[in-house]
Amino acid sequence: MTILVTGGAGFIGANFVMEWLSGADEKVINLDKLTYAGNLESLKCLEGNPAHVFVQGDIGDSALVQDLLQKYQPRAVINFAAESHVDRSIHSPGDFIQTNVVGTFHLLEAVRAYWNELPEDARTDFRFLHVSTDEVYGSLAATDPAFTETNRYEPNSPYSASKAASDHLVRSYHHTYGLPVLTTNCSNNYGPYHFPEKLIPLMIVNALAGKALPVYGDGQQIRDWLYVKDHCSAIRRVLEAGRVGEVYNVGGWNEKPNLEIVNRVCALLDELRPREDGQSYQEQISFVTDRPGHDRRYAIDARKLERELQWKPAETFETGIRKTVQWYLENQQWVENVQSGSYRDWVEKNYDGRSA
Ligand code: NAD
Ligand code: TYD
């Protein structure tokens, strides 16, 4: 048996592939374009493992995807590949349309052609699992209930709009062609191998480098945080037992304002790697100009997943954030290696000119 994973050199995909292969020997074909966010170093522990086949390529390359499907005959495709950073989508929305919308369309077409030709049993058992985000539902007011699977789609950034479009395409391939799809919409992830452009790893990395900790606006925007390995276990569970055509929200009931997150990261660093001058890392916090169109609050109601598939997260925010900070302290080389020229260019583009 084999599965095809796309975007498996990115943050969540790499965690998923490593978890998958640590629990079973079912082969993983890992198709990843290796954009700035893809990093083979994250998969170093799989070097020489015959159950992991890495292929550099684009989900939008139909010929390549069709070849891979024919050659390896996977029983499932799990689609992580995407452009995933909201701030980048504000600077360069075109890349998001290309991969998240057009790329997902080409992937679906290749998968549909392959699935159509499968023998009856394999057709029934096949799954296309699309990994999506809670951001498609838009922004909540302070007292609104958390997002359920039936919330209206109201995406506000080019990132969330492109993910919303991909979710709709996936849905349509089930309704129109009968492709056995599953969709997961997850809240903000954090954990090992997270590229340091996103809030939590950026704060850890900047704090240790003695740099400013840039908090957008008033820092009171709320996100609902889930440890990445819990997201991976949810995806496994949905793949295993999710009802075809259904959507499952994934979250850990951990709503927190950004400033509280940054303060918690600072407190953990104060404990685990105190500053030489005895001051707290909080001294480095700097309030900067807000992100345009910044969503105020996300919150996931994950009761459907819990009720139907008995899934629950294993980590609390406290245990997960401690593990994460520790991982970054122990993996400084990984951090240094991802801070290439293109990373520095991005930091300059996004943060220079945001007045403190
Ligand atoms: P990431 O940016 O860290 O990784 C994306 C990966 O996809 C990279 O390895 C990149 O090289 C690859 N990729 C990009 N374009 C590609 C293309 N055209 N063809 C093949 N590979 C391509 O993203 P992530 O944080 O790991 O997110 C993975 C998925 O989970 C995304 O679909 C994202 O929308 C979704 N998601 C992320 C979060 C989060 O908090 N990070 C939360 C919910 C959902
Ligand atoms: P991010 O990690 O980019 O995820 P998303 O935008 O997909 O939720 O950002 C999380 C929150 O942190 C979001 O409200 C924006 C905020 N943020 C900052 O305040 N400063 C930063 O430098 C970054 C990258 C994000």
Q: What is the pLDDT of residue 353?
A: 84
Ligand 2 neighbourhood includes 223 CB (under 6 angstroms)? yes
Cβ distance 98 to 50 under 8 Å? no
Q: What is the DSSP string of 245-282?
A: T-EEEE--S-EEEHHHHHHHHHHHHHHHS--TTS--GG
Domain ranges for the chain: 2-190+227-253+294-315
* Non-local CB neighbours of 77 within 8 Å, separated by 6+ positions: 3, 4, 5, 6, 107, 111, 127, 128, 129
Ligand 2 neighbourhood includes 202 CB (under 6 angstroms)? yes
pLDDT classification of 95: cutoffs 50, 70, 90: very high
Q: What is the mean pLDDT of the chain?
A: 97
Q: What is the DSSP string of 120-157?
A: HHHHHH-EEEEEEEGGGG----TTSPPB-TTSPP---S
pLDDT classification of 235: cutoffs 50, 70, 90: very high
Q: What is the pLDDT of residue 151?
A: 98
What digits encode the pLDDT tens for the residues 35-94? 999 999 999 999 999 999 999 999 999 999 999 999 999 999 999 999 999 999 999 999
Of all protein residues, the one whose alpha carbon is nearest to atom 21 of ligand 2 is 199
**What's the rounded mean pLDDT across residues 207-233?**
98
Q: What is the pLDDT of residue 24?
A: 82
Ligand 2 neighbourhood includes 86 CB (under 6 angstroms)? yes
Nearest atom (ligand 2) to Cα of 219: 19
Dist. CA 119–CA 289, nearest whole Å: 56
Mutate to test the pocket of ligand 1, among 6, 11, 324 (most ligand atoms within 8 A of CB): 11
Q: Which ligand has the nearest atom to the CA of 101? A: 1
* Both tokens assigned to 11: 């943050």
**Is 283 in the active site?**
no
Q: What is the pLDDT of residue 252?
A: 92
* Non-local CB neighbours of 26 within 8 Å, separated by 6+ positions: 1, 2, 3, 20, 51
* CATH superfamily label, 2-190+227-253+294-315: NAD(P)-binding Rossmann-like Domain (3.40.50.720)
**Is 197 in the active site?**
no
Neighbouring C-beta atoms of residue 177, cutoff 10 Å:
12
Any residues with Cβ below 6 Å from ligand 1, and which? 6-7, 9-13, 31-35, 37-38, 58-60, 80-84, 99, 103, 131-133, 163, 186, 188-189, 195
Dist. CA 310–CA 79, nearest whole Å: 23
**Is 135 in the active site?**
yes
Give how far Cα 4 sits from Cα of 28, 78, 84, 228, 287, Å: 6, 6, 20, 20, 42
Angle between helices 317-330 and 258-272 (to 10 degrees): 50
What digits encode the pLDDT tens for the residues 165-209? 999 999 999 999 999 999 999 999 999 999 999 999 999 999 999
**What's the rounded mean pLDDT across residues 98-111?**
98
Question: Measured in whole angstroms, how far is the alpha carbon of residue 223 from the centre of its chain?
Answer: 14
Cβ distance 109 to 179 under 8 Å? no
* Cα 307 to ligand 2 centre (Å): 31
Ligand 2 neighbourhood includes 199 CB (under 6 angstroms)? yes
Neighbouring C-beta atoms of residue 311, cutoff 10 Å:
21
pLDDT classification of 356: cutoffs 50, 70, 90: low
Q: What is the pLDDT of residue 354?
A: 85
* Cα 83 to ligand 1 centre (Å): 6
Nearest atom (ligand 2) to Cα of 295: 14
**What's the rounded mean pLDDT across residues 87-109?**
98
The single residue of 58, 83, 134, 197 carrying the catalytic annotation is: 134
What digits encode the pLDDT tens for the residues 281-305? 999 999 999 999 999 999 999 999 9
Q: What is the pLDDT of residue 134?
A: 98
Nearest atom (ligand 1) to Cα of 99: 18
Question: Measured in whole angstroms, how far is the alpha carbon of residue 187 from the centre of its chain?
Answer: 9
The single residue of 32, 114, 137, 159 carrying the catalytic annotation is: 159
What digits encode the pLDDT tens for the residues 6-51? 999 999 999 999 999 998 889 999 999 999 999 999 999 999 999 9
Q: Over 80: is that where the pLDDT of 355 sits?
A: no
Phi, psi values for residue 173, rounded to 5°? -70, -25
Dist. CA 130–CA 182, nearest whole Å: 6
